[in-house]
């Protein structure tokens, strides 16, 4: 599996990963993203800004995420404490297609993101998720992220995690 910048002609496939993840979250009994976010336009904006990435194998897209190297204003206030005050990357909107379920791709994806960040001189990554998203929390802890506290993002409280090399 590879991590690469998404191209505009991959926006629909990338957005389908979001929709597939939304269905999966709903089947688990929670809502990770509210119905009006993220939209196809959100993904297109990510791609245009150069922060939209896809996880591919061959010519198939298995996942999508937004990687921002730099500041995330929503992370300025935390009920808790970040592990580091060094420069960091933020991962938002990480989602996989229904065809990726059960293939162990989440660990590979996190490794690809870590390697991408390190290659770009960034040794800390921050992520937030819903309290109900136990699967993502498990993946983050398994991949070396530590719970740091609560932040407010997208209108509500989110669990904040950080990985630091």
Please write the tens of the pLDDT for every residue from 17-53: 999 999 998 898 888 887 788 999 999 999 999 999 9
Q: Is the confidence at residue 140, as pLDDT, over 90?
A: yes
Measure the CA angle with vertex 30, ends 45 and 155; round to 5°. 50
Q: For residues 113 and 125, give the distance between their C-alpha atoms in angstroms, rounded to a whole number.
A: 9
- 8 A C-beta contact, residue 150 and residue 78: yes
Asked if 126 and 72 touch (Cβ cutoff 8 Å), the reply is yes
User: Against a cut of 0.85, is the pTM above it?
Assistant: yes
Please give the CATH topology (third level) of the domain spanning 2-164: Aminopeptidase (3.40.630)
């Amino acid at each position: 599996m590879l991590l690469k910048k998404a191209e505009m002609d991959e926006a629909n496939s990338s957005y389908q990963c979001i929709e597939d993840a939304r269905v999966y979250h709903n089947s688990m009994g929670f809502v990770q993203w509210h119905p009006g976010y993220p939209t196809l336009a959100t993904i297109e904006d990510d791609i245009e800004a150069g922060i939209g990435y896809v996880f591919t194998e061959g010519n198939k897209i298995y996942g999508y995420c937004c990687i921002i190297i730099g500041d995330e204003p929503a992370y300025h206030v935390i009920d808790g404490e970040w592990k580091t005050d060094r420069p960091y990357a933020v991962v938002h909107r990480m989602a996989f297609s229904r065809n990726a379920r059960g293939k162990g791709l989440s660990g590979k994806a996190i490794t690809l993101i870590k390697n991408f960040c390190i290659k770009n001189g960034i040794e800390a990554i921050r992520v937030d998720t819903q309290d109900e998203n136990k699967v993502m929390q498990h993946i983050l802890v398994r991949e070396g992220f530590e719970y740091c506290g609560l932040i407010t993002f997208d209108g509500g409280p989110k669990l904040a995690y950080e990985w630091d090399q």
